[in-house]
Amino acid sequence: MSKRRLFRWPARRTAALGILALLVTSVLSWLICGGDSYDPQPGMSSFGPTSAPASLSGTIEEYFNPIHEQLSEITKTYDNATSEIGLVLAATRAEDLTWLLDYCNDHGTIPFIYSTDVEPAPNLLVPYTIRGREATAYLSFVVEFYNQLPKYTIFIHSNYDQWHNDLFGPHTGPALRNLRLEAVDAQGYVNLRCEHDPGCPTSVHPWSPTQIDIENDDIRAFFPQVYQTLLNVPAKKVPEHIGNVCCGQFAVSRQRILERPRSDYERMLRWADETELTDSFGVGWVYEKIWHIIFGMDEIYCPRYEQCRCDAYGWCGPLASGETLQAVRANPGSTMGPSF
């Protein structure tokens, strides 16, 4: 019995048609791209990748997002000597960031958008790793721009509607427009949210994981170890309880970011990329629990709701009780915060 052929060359007619199709595809691709190579955004030259790969998936419209391109042009104008506010966020190539483009054009704000696609989107910055999503985008920005940070960096989510936004409804724009930058000067770190639930008064108990957490190898069971690694502290510095206003949207002053050496943020990034204790979701969860600590606030950071509203947005009363609060003001001589 003759052996069955597992492979055979295509007929000449089929091969010719295939070659013709390949040539047509190549010409169309050249015409669409204008014959020019993509000039990537300046990336993490000494710490991570800088540009998107040449491979392309999805439609041309999905890959070359015109809104992203316009935002990228604004990013290229960044000058830390003249650009006061930077907005840092993570996004996929398919996300509609029209709201962000409008906001940046209206308010002279510079966007720093990091791609979270496996194949990074053109015109977006490329994070050191996409594990942890926005958490590693935030850290990638700090590492990449450490020596040229804007005066204020506001870390936000990409969707315009966020349940995290509380005082002005779900939209991010009003929160950004009304944020008191003097509060950022005075405190170094300001969460954009004031509502205590979830997160306050405490949400993590590093030394007291539940039996279920232990049995499931949940990241909570390893929190003391993780805390020591990320913050480079001994076991005795790991707090009994951690509490903070949710979630991952906050403003930080340049001075406060610089109170940690760049190597601290690089270590945090490497842990996110390399840890085997949890997955991408777990990495993001860990950082949401400790951003306030990373940026110099107490382990339990749950300011009174009314005072937070007054400090962050100038909404000081009079309250129902008749009390009118005083918003925090920056002390010109303050060094703002602890030395790490």
Question: Would residue 219 count as lying in a domain?
Answer: yes
User: Is residue 19 predicted with pLDDT exceeding 60?
Assistant: no
Question: Would residue 1 count as lying in a domain?
Answer: no
| pLDDT tens digits, 216-273 | 999 999 999 999 999 999 999 999 999 999 989 999 999 999 999 999 999 999 999 9
CA distances (Å), 64 to each of 116, 122, 288, in order? 15, 7, 31
Element (H, E) at 115: strand 110-115
Question: Would residue 264 count as lying in a domain?
Answer: yes
Compute how many other C-beta atoms are within 10 angstroms of the C-beta atom of residue 242. Answer: 22
For 166-182, give the DSSP string.
Answer: -BTBSBHHHHHHH--HH
Structural domain span for residue 190: 65-304
| pLDDT tens digits, 44-76 | 434 544 444 444 445 545 556 899 999 999 999
Question: Would residue 35 count as lying in a domain?
Answer: no
Question: Would residue 309 count as lying in a domain?
Answer: no
Question: Would residue 128 count as lying in a domain?
Answer: yes
Mean pLDDT confidence for 274-282:
97
Q: Which residues have C-beta within 8 Å of that of residue 316, sequence separation ≥ 6? A: 309, 310, 324, 325, 326, 327
User: Is residue 32 predicted with pLDDT exceeding 70?
Assistant: no
Number of structural domains found in the chain: 1
Higher pLDDT residue, 16 or 106? 106
The pTM is what? 0.81
Mean pLDDT confidence for 303-321:
95
Question: Would residue 265 count as lying in a domain?
Answer: yes
